[in-house]
Structure 1
Amino acid sequence: MERRKFLQNGTLAGISALALGGITNSAQAATANSTTATGDKPFNMYYAPHDGTFKNSAGDDFLDQIKYMYDQGFRSIEDNGMLGRPAAEQEKIGNLLNKLGMQMGVFVVDTGNNWKTSLTTGKQEFKDAFIKTCKESVEVAKRCNAKWATVVPGFFDRNLPMGIQTANVIDAMRSGAEIFEPHGLIMVLEPLSDTPELFLRTAEQTYEICKAVKSPSCKILYDMYHMQRNVGNLIPVIDMCWEEIAYVQIGDNPGRKEPGSGEVNYKNIFKHLYKKGYKGVLGMEHGMTGQGKEGEAALIKAYREADSFL
């Protein structure tokens, strides 16, 4: 049911009940339960689903999914592949988000070199590709109202000392920051756990690079699924790296599914972030335990539970 029709129907039902002499306690309880079931109340934090998260409930069209996300209480989205969408589609997404008062989360600065040895080498060809993609990303961000863009520096270069590789990455990130900073955009460097070949592995290592770049446009993307796998100790590391963390992503471990499916106490982590004053997006970069509409409903229920920290 459309949100406006639901509200209209709810108002008419309330008027009818009053005309009959008032709403009973049981009817009030039923109304409260119905409101909760729709998920119409916004979450305490800006959790951001992806294209496809609610395809069974809302259909294949991403715009329809965004509307559905809004009706369930979500106020942000993520789209890693935004850079590859047609410009007209990027604008439609941005316009809809603006209309609904929703935030656009990260998209990936995808140079085509993110998953191979590239920026760590210091080779100009990789740096040039990175700079070119950063410039393209600025235009994409303007169309879809994005503020953050994910950067992955690629794999280790086994032929170079670690200090040289780190210096090469810092040099490339400074070039990227120079492009993003005039536009108020932030590239968020993401340490990952997918393969040991990746150069960025921990938040502490990324903190060091951000400190060296010295730009408000070069910060950390703290993906809690990857950090749980690589390091653990999630809350203390958040506190240690806090001044350089600009973006957070979610995924329970093991399995990379919704909160409550693994070992991470997300209710405590969300409460900790809330108390620290985090107002940014929390990207839902994970799968779900269930399937179909039932799985999507269970996903929302899991987030309602983890979000009930107040």
Structure 2
Amino acid sequence: MERRKFLQQGTLAGLSTLAVGGAAAAINHSPTEKDQAGKTFNLNYAPHDGMFKNSAGANFLDQIQFMYDQGFRSIEDNGLMKRDTAEQEKVGKLLSKLGMQMGVFVIDAGDNWKVSLTSGKQEFKDTFVKECKKALETAKRVNAKWATVVPGYFERNLPIGVQTAHVIEAFRMGADVLEKEGLIMVMEPLSDNPDLFLRTAEQSYSICKAVNSPSCKILYDIYHMQRNTGNLIPIMDMCWDEIAYIQIGDNPGRKEPTSGEINYKNIFKHLHKKGFKGILGMEHGNAFPGKEGEQALIKAYRESDNFL
């Protein structure tokens, strides 16, 4: 063999060995799914009922235990107020035993998805206050700190400023009730349909300032804000002092992070840098069915949470 060819082949072989060795070292030093299983996350993500039903079964308590075993330390339950008292108490006891935290549940007496608080009608204000009082009792059973509120649809026969004043008045009444026990209502701007009155974080921010209560804050749902306004991080920062709770969902599809267009790893890194210690509710569906889909969801959160 010619000396030149021998040297070339020897060099290529050496580079190949270095490449393989480097890749092996990277694999050996990278956290595997087995290594990560059960470890807590850098941020406090909260799954919900049904998200892991294929892995844990239909019983909500069994699902909570499964969530804990996967490293989650909070849950949220929109329909908590519809559960009977005994079940609420069982959920609360299990969360306390596991050292887990309850995220949001929804305050809704049936008026969230129609014209209600924007109208200024006394009947809707009375119902809202009554439901806030009921929410206090629910919150005590599970040690909840936040509850979602929605002011309903536009009243298109009234000017927008008058509707806003009506919502502020109703939320002040609700906050007066909730402040006594330290429960925080978090108003959620939504994108589900064009009839919904509350649509942006900026709009919610102005209402919070007008209500002027520690029990009236913003729920910043990243999925809805991407659909309605985009510009996610700058708007979040502008409204930061009134944001008490955050929810997650990728777009399009409203599934777990990595399933759509939102750079959740970057958003999570930003929240971590800001020192956010609150809950991030996983208010979305699963991108894939069955147990495999549930494992894929956990993997997606591990990937997006790996920002340090």
Separation of aligned partners in 1, 2:100 and 2:170: 32
Separation of aligned partners in 2, 1:177 and 1:52: 31
Separation of aligned partners in 2, 1:274 and 1:215: 26
Structure 2 unmatched ranges of 5 or more: 1-24
Cα offset for 1:144?
1.1
Structure 2 match to 1:66: 64
Separation of aligned partners in 2, 1:110 and 1:121: 17
With normalisation by structure 2, the TM-score equals 0.89
Selected match of 1:43 from 41, 44, 47? 41
* 8 A Cα contact 2:47 2:283, kept in partner: yes
Cα offset for 1:35?
4.1
Selected match of 1:222 from 216, 220, 223? 220
Structure 2 match to 1:101: 99
SS of residue in 2 equivalent to 1:285: coil
Structure 1 match to 2:78: 80
SS of residue in 2 equivalent to 1:183: coil
* 1:12-51 alignment runs, 5 A limit: 33=32, 35-36=34-35, 39-51=37-49
Cα–Cα, structure 1 residues 57 and 173, in superposed 2: closer, same or farther, change >3 Å?
A: same
| Matched letter for residue 108 of structure 2 | D
Cα–Cα, structure 1 residues 34 and 128, in superposed 2: closer, same or farther, change >3 Å?
A: closer
Structure 2 match to 1:21: none
With normalisation by structure 1, the TM-score equals 0.89
Cα–Cα, structure 1 residues 197 and 182, in superposed 2: closer, same or farther, change >3 Å?
A: same
Cα offset for 1:36?
2.2
Cα offset for 1:263?
0.5
Separation of aligned partners in 2, 1:182 and 1:44: 32
Structure 1 unmatched ranges of 5 or more: 1-25
Separation of aligned partners in 2, 1:284 and 1:102: 15
Structure 2 match to 1:16: none
**Matched-pair identity in %:** 73
Separation of aligned partners in 1, 2:296 and 2:274: 28
| Matched letter for residue 291 of structure 2 | K
* 8 A Cα contact 2:188 2:218, kept in partner: yes
* 1:115-130 alignment runs, 5 A limit: 115-130=113-128
Selected match of 1:54 from 52, 55, 76? 52
| Matched letter for residue 276 of structure 2 | Y
Q: CA RMSD in A?
A: 1.4
Q: Which has the larger radius of gyration?
A: 2
* 8 A Cα contact 2:117 2:166, kept in partner: yes
Pairs aligned (count): 281
| Matched letter for residue 35 of structure 2 | T
1:180 aligns with 2:148: no
Cα offset for 1:145?
1.0
Separation of aligned partners in 2, 1:275 and 1:199: 32
Separation of aligned partners in 1, 2:35 and 2:295: 12
Separation of aligned partners in 2, 1:192 and 1:149: 15
* 1:157-236 alignment runs, 5 A limit: 157-236=155-234
SS of residue in 1 equivalent to 2:245: strand
